[in-house]
Structures are given as C-alpha cells and as structure tokens.
C-alpha cells in the first residue's frame, strides 16, 4: 500500500516499510471472491472465516494499516489499503469480486466503491493532500452489507453521552439528560429522547468546532506541530441501549460491547482517543465516510443482511441503507442474529450461505 503521512503510526517499522496483512480462505481456483475488511478491527480473526473456509469462493480477510489502533486513522488512507486488497484478488484471477461490509466495514466498502467509480477526494477534511490515483482504487463488482452501521460519524453522533457537563471532566453529568440515571424509568418519554438527541448533536458539533479551531491555531504557528492528541470521554450512551422500544427490533437491553454504563465511563471505547486530523476524517460530520450517501453514488448490486437482534445496528439504519441502494438491493433478515453472532453457529452458516450465493450471482 502507498506510504502514509509522517507520525501516523507509533511503529517506526510501519512508517519506514508500510505493509498491510490479510488471510486468504478458500480455493485458489475459484474465479469468485470476497473481501471482508474493517477500518481498524482485526478481520484476520473474523467470526465468518471458518464458515467461509467450507465454501467454494476465495475470501480475503484484510486488515488496514491501523489494525487494532484507530487513534491516528484517516479514512482517505484506509481506502488505499482496501485498493491494495482488490488489486491482490484480481492478480489471483478473481473475476467477480464482492466487498463485504460487516459492521464498520460497510461504510468503508461504500466509500471505496464510490471513489473507485468516480474519484473526487483530493484531501482529508484537515486539508492534507492524499494524492489518490485511480490505479490505487480498482473497482469491485458488488457490495454486501451485514450488520452494517451507517458510518463512524453517524454512529458516534448517536452514542455520545448527552449528559456530559465538561469535556475535561469524565464524571460530571446532568441528571436530567443522563440515560443511565438510577431514577430514570423506561420506556423513555419522547420529549426526553428528543432533548438527548439534540444535545448529542450539539456536543458532536462543539467537539468538531474545537478541533477545527485548535488545528488552525497549531498550523498557523511557524514552529507549531501539524497535529495533536484528543481525548473524548463517555462515548457509549445511545438511548436505544436502555429502551428497546426505540427503533425496536428483537434485541435485549444493553449494548454490543458489554454493560453500556460501564463501557461509557470506561477508559477505552469508540472515539475515545484520536488526533485532531483523525477526528475530522473518521468521527466528524466533515468525514467522507457516510455509508448510505456513498452507497447511493455506486452502481453495483447490493445485498443487505439485517441481524434482527442487533444491539448496535437498528431498523432505522437498515432503512437508510435500503433507500440508498434502491432497486439494486437484495435484502434478507437473519432472525435472532446478534451483532457478532456469538454462540449462534447455525446463523453463521446462514449468513455465509447468503454471502456466497450473492457473490456467485453478482
């Protein structure tokens, strides 16, 4: 993959000799292939790999340069990494290639394919040139979405804790906006949810405004750094974690990462650590990684698999993807499926069967 920006990794080896890594499953003789990739998660340990290994298509489980550490992640670089994977599969004589967008990989797959079909990105939201070239982004032939959330900015915007009083104080909270307050009962009143959502939007915008000002200040100084670390506390407080009547599906109360209140106040969670430039690229509304918007800009067939007991992807997300795909979409509900299909071996095979059938037919 192309070399990235200076200091984008803590690894000197990665900066000096950049590499990405993946695992290939399935017969090399197959002309049908899939790539499953996430911006930061290690998909070489993906839960579908064993099921894929029993099928007749080539599957590349690919990691980005930011594997297991998204603190410096820049989405405009991640699509270069996915492009290297697409080129690799084409060299293996794969003629029909499907990008499998699982969870956070969905927005990545759609961003990639939209840029592969029509390259528009010239710089990151921080104004840093990325020098993308069409040769780095060979197009795929289809997109499959599985338990797909609409993108990192959209996800975090719904997960930010609306009760935060001070960005520098991880503990202070406004009880009247705290979904985890011991005195709060469910179902939540509509007016309460509306206030929480409004405050989440305001907080999201305020963090981005601070990041923009701070980055401008740093870069205005002749001796200033190009970037700086950013910590955002309490990023796991979606009202849907507590009240399952909101955006109702088959899920149990709670979140897909464990006890939601404990995760919210914990030392690590989505968006907790980043740099200013990384925040703008992956978490802010200025990010290019709006999944449904990018999907609408593609022309390939689309499969959507809805996990009906998902605690992180909800019916409104499924509907947004469907609107973006239009009449290109095939859609299936995987009944009772949770976000990671943990302890659901029969559903692993059902999902893999859907993906293989779609890839072969696309």
- Give me the helices (H) in the chain, please: 12-16, 49-53, 75-91, 105-117, 152-159, 190-220, 239-242, 260-265, 276-278, 291-296, 315-325, 345-361
- Rounded CA-CA distance 302/149 in Å is 15
**58 assigned to some structural domain:** yes
**Residue 294: is its pLDDT beyond 70?**
yes
pLDDT for res 8: 67
**Tens of pLDDT, residues 102-141:** 999 999 999 999 999 999 999 999 999 999 999 999 999 9
**Residue where a domain terminates, one of 233, 257, 283:** 283
Cα dihedral 152, 157, 158, 159, rounded to 10, equals 80
- The domain of 27 spans 12-151+289-361
**275 assigned to some structural domain:** yes
| Together in a domain, 22 and 114 | yes
**245 assigned to some structural domain:** yes
**Tens of pLDDT, residues 178-228:** 999 999 999 999 999 999 999 999 999 999 999 999 999 999 999 989 999
DSSP run (H or E) holding 330? strand 329-334
Specify the CATH number for the domain of residue 115.
Answer: 3.40.50.1820
- Distance from chain centroid for Cα 130: 20
| Together in a domain, 201 and 277 | yes
Total tally of structural domains belonging to the chain: 2
- Residue reference for tokens 């037919």: 361
| Together in a domain, 16 and 144 | yes
Average pLDDT for residues 132-157, to the nearest whole number? 97
- Rounded CA-CA distance 298/107 in Å is 12
- Distance from chain centroid for Cα 293: 14
| Together in a domain, 134 and 192 | no
| Together in a domain, 130 and 193 | no
- Rounded CA-CA distance 213/269 in Å is 25
Q: Is this structure's pTM higher than 0.85?
A: yes
| Together in a domain, 180 and 61 | no
pLDDT for res 15: 67
**1 assigned to some structural domain:** no
| Together in a domain, 268 and 299 | no
**Tens of pLDDT, residues 24-50:** 999 999 999 999 999 999 999 999 999
**343 assigned to some structural domain:** yes
pLDDT band at 19 (very low <50, low <70, confident <90, very high): confident
| Together in a domain, 273 and 293 | no
**7 assigned to some structural domain:** no
The percent of residues above 70 in pLDDT, for the chain, comes to 96
| Together in a domain, 83 and 50 | yes
Sequence length of the chain is: 362
- Rounded CA-CA distance 229/227 in Å is 7
Average pLDDT for residues 88-107, to the nearest whole number? 98
| Together in a domain, 26 and 121 | yes
- Rounded CA-CA distance 22/25 in Å is 10
Residue closest to 152 by CA, chosen among 160, 140, 144? 160
**59 assigned to some structural domain:** yes
pLDDT for res 10: 65
- Distance from chain centroid for Cα 333: 21
**Residue where a domain terminates, one of 283, 314, 344:** 283
Cα dihedral sign for 342, 247, 267, 261? Answer: negative
Tokens (6 digits) for 27: 């017969």
| Together in a domain, 194 and 310 | no
**Tens of pLDDT, residues 259-276:** 999 999 999 999 999 999
- Residue reference for tokens 């990023």: 235
- Rounded CA-CA distance 152/107 in Å is 8
pLDDT for res 18: 74
Average pLDDT for residues 10-36, to the nearest whole number? 86
**54 assigned to some structural domain:** yes
Tokens (6 digits) for 313: 């992807």
| Together in a domain, 265 and 144 | no
Average pLDDT for residues 73-89, to the nearest whole number? 97
**Residue where a domain terminates, one of 283, 309, 329:** 283
Tokens (6 digits) for 134: 């069409």
């Amino acid at each position: 993959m192309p070399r990235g920006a200076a200091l984008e990794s803590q690894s000197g080896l990665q900066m000096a000799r950049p590499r990405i890594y993946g695992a290939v499953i399935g017969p090399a003789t197959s002309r049908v292939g899939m790539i499953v990739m996430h911006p930061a998660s290690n998909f070489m340990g993906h839960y579908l790999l064993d099921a894929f290994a029993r099928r007749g298509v080539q599957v590349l489980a690919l990691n980005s340069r930011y594997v297991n550490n998204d603190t410096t992640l820049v989405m405009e670089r991640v699509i270069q990494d996915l492009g290297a994977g697409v080129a690799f599969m084409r060299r293996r004589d794969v003629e029909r290639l499907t990008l499998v967008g699982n969870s956070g990989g969905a927005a990545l797959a759609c961003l990639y394919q939209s840029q592969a079909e029509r390259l528009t990105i010239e710089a990151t939201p921080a104004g840093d040139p990325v020098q993308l070239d069409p040769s780095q982004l060979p197009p795929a032939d289809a997109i499959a979405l599985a338990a797909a959330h609409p993108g990192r900015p959209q996800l975090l915007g719904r997960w930010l804790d609306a009760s935060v009083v001070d960005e520098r104080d991880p503990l202070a909270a406004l009880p009247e906006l705290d979904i985890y307050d011991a005195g709060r009962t469910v179902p939540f009143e509509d007016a309460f949810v509306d206030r929480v959502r409004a405050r989440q939007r305001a907080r999201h915008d305020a963090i981005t405004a601070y990041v923009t000002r701070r980055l401008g200040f740093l870069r205005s100084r002749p001796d200033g750094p190009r970037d700086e670390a950013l910590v955002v506390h309490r990023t796991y407080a979606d009202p849907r974690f507590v009240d399952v009547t909101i955006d109702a599906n088959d899920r149990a109360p709670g979140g897909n990462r464990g006890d939601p209140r404990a995760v919210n106040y914990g030392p690590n969670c989505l968006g907790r650590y980043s740099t200013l430039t990384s925040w703008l690229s992956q978490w802010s509304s200025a990010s290019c990684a709006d999944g449904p918007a990018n999907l609408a800009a593609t022309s390939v067939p689309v499969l959507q698999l809805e996990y009906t007991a998902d605690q992180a992807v909800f019916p409104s997300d499924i509907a947004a993807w469907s609107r973006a795909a239009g009449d290109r979409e095939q859609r299936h509900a995987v009944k009772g499926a949770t976000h990671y299909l943990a302890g659901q071996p029969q559903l692993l095979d059902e999902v893999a069967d859907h993906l293989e059938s779609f890839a072969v037919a696309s």
